[in-house]
């Protein structure tokens, strides 16, 4: 068992929580001043743990272990959703610091923009595995306010820095510790989850053009109400998708913007951010075909025009069996019977790392399953016990 310093681990977590604090959570959108402060904070902690820190051209922070291999790569992300949780992402990075502090030969990484504040999709981890063209950065926009990604990188002082490219030969694999962001572990009374597979998120933008007009003078028969067309299309999706989906598929409309958004004006334009998720590509393809058919049907029936744009399509991943065996062996040794295997309904950087090296994830319970909300939380004993399982598994993998 590696000599884990639990006090230092918790101290780091709570210190990071104070950077961009929002109520009991954190507000650290990618490249915001508080996000860049957290990246500098992380680089200082990496140096303290004996790692050689660097930040790359899209803001990914890597702490390289100076010693001989074999190595493990351990990490996650440290930016957060807006006004969201203190553990989503941060837990996996700070856990990596704790393993380095315990003397394990690990590189620690915080991949930039896992949370998709920019519409490139997994910007940092896709760049690090060599799956991001410069043209995608040129075209990237902030998903909330449309700021060009190039402008955001320049404002953050990252323009012109080289982009990290991971060498898979350096690593036995990638481990990511993360909160579950669901209720399975808590519901089963288990303290540790060994992730079997990670869903892909297929993200869409649907733009509906109607006719802005007077809310009173325009009769119901002649108006072209983009808002109503949007609501009818989303209702049609919700009726049809249960017929097309897989056992654990999800679909979510995260945002509907009506323009001009005034009480007495018929909306001439509606913009929808819609996504669906599954761990199997054939199911994702079936849902895409269904979505396209429903958009065509809307254009047949409505006096408005709906346009479907694919924003990003991630790749689902199955976790590496050998790494999973090390994690479950460590869990059985440290908290016998108090763990289970389960799929991830959330997307994670690990699903990209799995494309170039063995990758696996360890979950700890989320209280009430709450995440992507400032009330997100996990019991400290679960955080520490999960870290001990991660450390034991890392030691087994490195000794293997």
Residue 115, marked binder: yes
Kindly indicate which of the ranges 87-95, 160-168, 185-193, 327-335 contains the residues binding Mn ion, using the contact rule CB under 5 A: 87-95
Q: What is the CA radius of gyration of the chain?
A: 22
Question: In terms of CB distance, is 91 or 295 closer to Mn ion?
Answer: 91
- Longest Cα–Cα distance of the chain, Å, equals 76
* Shortest CB 372 distance to ligand HGY, Å: 7
Q: Which of 182, 347, 365, 386 binds ligand HGY (CB under 6 A)?
A: 347
Residue 372, marked binder: yes
DSSP 369: G
* Shortest CB 346 distance to ligand HGY, Å: 3
The one of Mn ion, ligand HGY, none whose footprint includes residue 96, by CB under 5 to 8 A per kind, is none
Question: In terms of CB distance, is 372 or 396 closer to ligand HGY?
Answer: 372
* Shortest CB 226 distance to ligand HGY, Å: 27
Q: Which of 285, 287, 307, 304 is nearest to 295 (CA)?
A: 307
**How many CA atoms, within 13 angstroms, populate the side-chain half-sphere of residue 132?**
26
d(CA 109, CA 132): 18
Residues within window 69-88 making contact with ligand HGY, judged by CB under 6 A: none
* Shortest CB 328 distance to ligand HGY, Å: 23
Kindly indicate which of the ranges 86-94, 163-171, 205-213, 294-302 contains the residues binding Mn ion, using the contact rule CB under 5 A: 86-94
Could you give the C-alpha distances from 332 to 103, 356, 392, in angstroms and in order?
23, 28, 11
Kindly indicate which of the ranges 41-49, 80-88, 184-192, 258-266 contains the residues binding Mn ion, using the contact rule CB under 5 A: 80-88
Angle between helices 90-101 and 33-48 in degrees, nearest 10? 20
For 82-110, the DSSP string reads: TTB-SSTTHHHHHHHHHHHHTT--EEEEE
Question: In terms of CB distance, is 115 or 225 closer to ligand HGY?
Answer: 115
Residue 144, marked binder: no
Please give the backbone phi and psi of residue 49, each rounded to the nearest 5 degrees, phi first: -90, 10
The one of ligand HGY, Mn ion, none whose footprint includes residue 347, by CB under 5 to 8 A per kind, is ligand HGY
Pattern 317-336, ligand HGY, x by CB under 6 A: --------------------
88 contacts Mn ion (rule: CB under 5 A):
yes
Residue 83, marked binder: no
Residues within window 244-303 making contact with Mn ion, judged by CB under 5 A: none
Question: In a 3-state reduction of DSSP, which class is residue 63?
Answer: strand
Q: Which of 365, 370, 385 is nearest to 179 (CA)?
A: 365
Question: In terms of CB distance, is 46 or 360 closer to ligand HGY?
Answer: 360
Question: In terms of CB distance, is 114 or 320 closer to ligand HGY?
Answer: 114
* Shortest CB 278 distance to Mn ion, Å: 18
Question: In terms of CB distance, is 92 or 227 closer to ligand HGY?
Answer: 92
* Shortest CB 145 distance to Mn ion, Å: 19
* Number of residues written out for the chain: 400
Cβ-Cβ contacts under 8 Å for 249 (sequence gap 6 or more): 241, 276, 277, 278, 283, 287
115 contacts ligand HGY (rule: CB under 6 A):
yes
Question: In terms of CB distance, is 185 or 346 closer to ligand HGY?
Answer: 346
Q: Which of 25, 89, 290, 391 binds Mn ion (CB under 5 A)?
A: 89
- Within the chain, strands assigned E span 21-22, 25-26, 52-55, 61-64, 71-76, 106-110, 171-179, 192-198, 200-209, 213-214, 250-259, 265-266, 269-278, 305-313, 317-318, 339-344, 359-364
Q: Helix, strand, coil: what percent of the chain each, to 5?
A: 35, 25, 35
Contact 294, 244 (CB under 8 A): no
* Shortest CB 376 distance to ligand HGY, Å: 11
Question: In terms of CB distance, is 20 or 89 closer to Mn ion?
Answer: 89
Q: Which of 346, 360, 364, 397 binds ligand HGY (CB under 6 A)?
A: 346
d(CA 287, CA 277): 9
For 135-181, the DSSP string reads: HHHHH-BBTTT--BHHHHHHHTT-TTPPPP---GGGEEEEEEEEE--
Residues that bind ligand HGY (CB under 6 A): 114-115, 346-347
Which residues fall in the annotated binding site for Zn(2+)?
77, 88, 115, 178, 372
Residues that bind Mn ion (CB under 5 A): 88-89
């Amino acid at each position: 068992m590696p000599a884990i310093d639990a006090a230092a681990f918790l101290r780091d977590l709570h210190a990071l929580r104070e950077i961009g604090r929002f109520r009991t959570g954190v507000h650290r959108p990618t490249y915001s001043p508080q996000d860049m402060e957290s990246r500098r904070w992380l680089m200082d902690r990496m140096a303290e743990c004996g790692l050689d820190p660097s930040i790359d051209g899209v803001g990914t922070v890597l702490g390289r272990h100076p010693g001989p291999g074999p190595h493990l790569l351990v990490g996650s992300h440290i930016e957060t959703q807006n006004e969201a949780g203190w553990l989503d992402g941060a837990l996996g990075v700070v856990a990596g610091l704790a393993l380095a502090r315990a003397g394990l030969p690990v590189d620690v990484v915080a991949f930039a923009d896992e949370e998709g504040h920019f519409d490139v999709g997994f910007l940092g981890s896709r760049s690090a595995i060599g799956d991001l063209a410069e043209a995608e950065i040129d075209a990237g926009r902030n998903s909330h306010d449309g700021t060009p990604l190039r402008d955001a990188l320049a404002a953050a002082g990252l323009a012109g820095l080289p982009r990290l490219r991971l060498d898979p030969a350096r690593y036995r694999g990638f481990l990511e510790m993360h909160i579950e962001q669901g209720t399975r572990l808590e519901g089963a009374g288990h303290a540790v989850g060994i992730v079997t597979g990670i869903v892909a998120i297929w993200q869409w933008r649907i733009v509906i053009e109607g006719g802005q007009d007077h809310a009173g003078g325009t009769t119901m028969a002649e108006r072209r109400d983009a808002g109503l067309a949007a609501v009818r299309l989303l209702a049609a999706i919700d009726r049809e998708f249960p017929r097309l989906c897989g056992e654990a598929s999800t679909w979510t409309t995260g945002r509907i913007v009506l323009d001009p958004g005034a009480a007495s004006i018929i909306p001439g334009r509606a913009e929808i951010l819609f996504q669906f998720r599954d761990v199997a590509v054939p199911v994702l393809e079936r849902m895409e075909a269904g979505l396209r058919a429903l958009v065509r049907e809307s254009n047949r029936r409505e006096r408005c025009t709906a346009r479907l744009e694919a924003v990003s399509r991630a790749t689902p991943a199955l976790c590496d069996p050998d790494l999973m065996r090390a994690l479950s062996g460590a869990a059985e040794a440290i908290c016998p019977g108090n763990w289970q295997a389960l799929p991830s309904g959330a997307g994670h950087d690990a699903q990209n790392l799995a494309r170039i090296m063995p990758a696996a994830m360890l979950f700890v319970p989320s209280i009430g399953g709450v995440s992507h909300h400032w009330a997100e939380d996990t019991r400290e004993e679960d955080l520490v016990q999960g870290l001990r399982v991660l450390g034991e598994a890392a030691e087994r993998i490195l000794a293997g």
